[in-house]
Structure 1
């Protein structure tokens, strides 16, 4: 598939989320706009109910979330934050929903502890399994985040639990709410689902303690001045998400190797909500992107998918995928040294890092004093 060809696996509804929608698509969008009104009412009623009966966890909680569907760098930022808090000597755990994981009768499951995966990626979900590859603290998955926190609490005392993708999980009180906004994606057309990419209205940012604007450096900002004004009503910090290394599988383990894609013929494989940023990163690294396979977000790869990828490898030097896809693709017998993943790294400047530390560590100190 040529890099410029739209992926048939991307949801067609996203074509109706353009800011300047062609006139021929307006009738279809108007139907979605009506449905969006009902969705907004439903979200408001849900939030009102859970605010009345919400629970508080027995440990300090930090939520990392967003307002839109699609990638804003939540999982890389969750890892960055967890490791940073560990560097301050805190005992840190992570709880995730584990989207698209296999169904389980258990209310919560332990994904990993001490860097050791306890269940399969299919049972854990791709993102929690990916985090377990680099994070040494305990990780749990649960539909109700409180169940995951209670499971982790049985393993030993924790100072902080980070909730991955939990801004809309209002049934649980949290001590710090961080909302990530993609500089390149912005808020789309500003409409709520299904007429646009918004999970909630931009006014929901009023619940945030800080907003983290993430940037991959692949294109111009999509945040409008009027939207940026609403962001700056809260504390706004900035983070960069950049490629750090390639990952290769060696004796069953992941090993980092330098970024050396210049001039190499690359087949890009990803299962993301929006793969455009991933593909753009590969091009920024001067890779010769000779083919692109785009699958739906959290895609469960099959033998047929593996065979299609292998068949497309004949005119390429290597396959490059994402870390969360690698946890599912590594079980297939790819030719030796042919399958790589792009490892991303989150960085913040000294001023913003200090502000983030002060926000969270200040709450930790207060919680300890009141314990």
Structure 2
């Protein structure tokens, strides 16, 4: 099934299929609500970060932000992720034990690998069955808090806090269910959420477009939290050298990305003064080849670009394909809560106060 890209209008001819998809989603939720399908509670705090739509809403930088926040409060944190498009077929893969990286981006998936890099003292594990994965982690590591990456539809696992991310640059993604639109489930599914988090909330008109679509449902959207992803620094892929954001001012760059929302990456690059001379885009979670790298090198020659700029998620997959002489850089982002910081703090701190920080075991 092919999905609409962020910002693309609804495919009205597929409303019939969307109706069938919605019915199946409704039956599944009903079965969990009435006990026909079981929800398991793990003996530790579980915080879910999820989507209502397919594609990139900024879950990865937000999970990193949340993990760092919990670690700063003295919690022993594990991140559970599906590991989408990973090459390993093992039911459970330990990406990091909180001390060192134990698998690469190919084995674990690009997003868990980036999370493990950015949160070096956090346990990161991947597996399709998050209940089994959580138990597996608890048998091996003394964690007291788990973050469930992309967990809103993973109803088999109980969560204490349920955060749902909506992308401000993709308001039309809320207009119809798959495959006519980009919704994984109807908007009223938000009534299960502890809070709605509107991401990429840089422009008021984008945020207002999302909020206008949410007014038709009775949920907590009036108290929606808003975050932006601000460029933090430039990181050289080959050497790991870091440069400040000011370093990019006036530089000419060729962009390369394989993410769910390439427009957001372009906006981030432009916001720090990068002059974009060309762009090569791939589908989300793309696995790069040497042939593709050579094709980009060919395009870059004669373009006048000073650097090739990519995302941090892509950088983990590109490192082994580049030479030390390649001027390829990653743009590192940080998460900034611009509205609703008090609400987010109350949710997290309230959950922490109800959960003992002692070691948890299954």
- In structure 2, the residue matched to 1:292 is 279
- Matched residue of 2:349: which SS? helix
Alignment match of 2:329 (pick from 340, 343, 348): 340
Q: What residue in structure 2 maps to residue 4 of structure 1?
A: none
Structure-to-structure mapping, 1:161-200, within 5 angstroms: 161-188=146-173, 190-200=175-185
CA distance in structure 1 between the partners assigned to 2:126 and 2:210 by the alignment: 32
User: Which consecutive unaligned segments of at least 5 residues does structure 2 have?
Assistant: none
Verify: 1:275 aligned to 2:257, yes or no: no
- Deviation at 1:32? 1.1
1:155 and 2:144 are equivalent in the alignment: no
- Structure-to-structure mapping, 1:113-132, within 5 angstroms: 113-132=97-116
User: 1:212-252: CA deviations, max 9, x gaps?
Assistant: 1122526831315242564545642221211111111354x
In the alignment, the residues of structure 2 paired with residue 46 and residue 102 of structure 1 have an alpha-carbon distance, to the nearest angstrom, of: 29
CA contact (8 A) 1:183 1:223 kept: yes
Checking the alignment, whether the CA contact within 8 Å between 1:18 and 1:189 is kept in structure 2 is no
| In structure 2, distance between residues paired with 1:215 and 1:312 | 30
Structure-2 separation of matches of 1:12 and 1:131: 25
Please, which of 233, 239, 256 is the counterpart of residue 227 of structure 2? 239
How far does residue 80 in structure 1 lie from its aligned partner after superposition?
0.3
In structure 2, distance between residues paired with 1:15 and 1:212:
17
1:12 CA displacement: 7.7
Count residues in correspondence.
Answer: 348
In 2 relative to 1, CA 75–14 (structure 1 residues): closer, same or farther, beyond 3 Å? closer
* Aligned twin of 1:23: none
For residues 20-40 of structure 1, give each alpha carbon's deviation from its aligned partner in whole angstroms, at most 9, with x where no partner exists: xxxxxxxxx343111101110
Change in Cα spacing, 1:80 to 1:228, as seen in structure 2 (3 Å) is: farther
CA contact (8 A) 2:260 2:284 kept: yes
Q: Tell me, what secondary structure is at the counterpart of 2:170?
A: coil
Question: Which 5+ residue runs of structure 1 have no aligned equivalent?
Answer: 1-10, 20-28
Q: Specify the alignment match of 1:18 in structure 2.
A: 9
RMSD (CA atoms): 2.4
Alignment of 1:302-321 (within 5 A): 302-314=289-301, 315=303, 316-321=305-310
Distance 2:195 2:341 in 1: 12
Please state if 1:257 is matched with 2:243.
Answer: yes
Aligned equivalent of 1:45: 27
1:61 and 2:74 aligned? no
* Residues 112/266 of structure 1: CA separation in 2 closer, same or farther (3 Å cut): same
Deviation at 1:157, TM superposition (A): 2.1
- 1:28-43 equivalent positions in 2, closer than 5 A: 29-43=11-25
Question: Aligned partners of 1:369 and 1:333: how far apart in 2?
Answer: 43
Aligned equivalent of 2:74, options 89, 95, 108: 89
Does the 8 A contact of 2:201 with 2:226 survive in 1? Answer: no
2:260 aligned counterpart, secondary structure:
coil
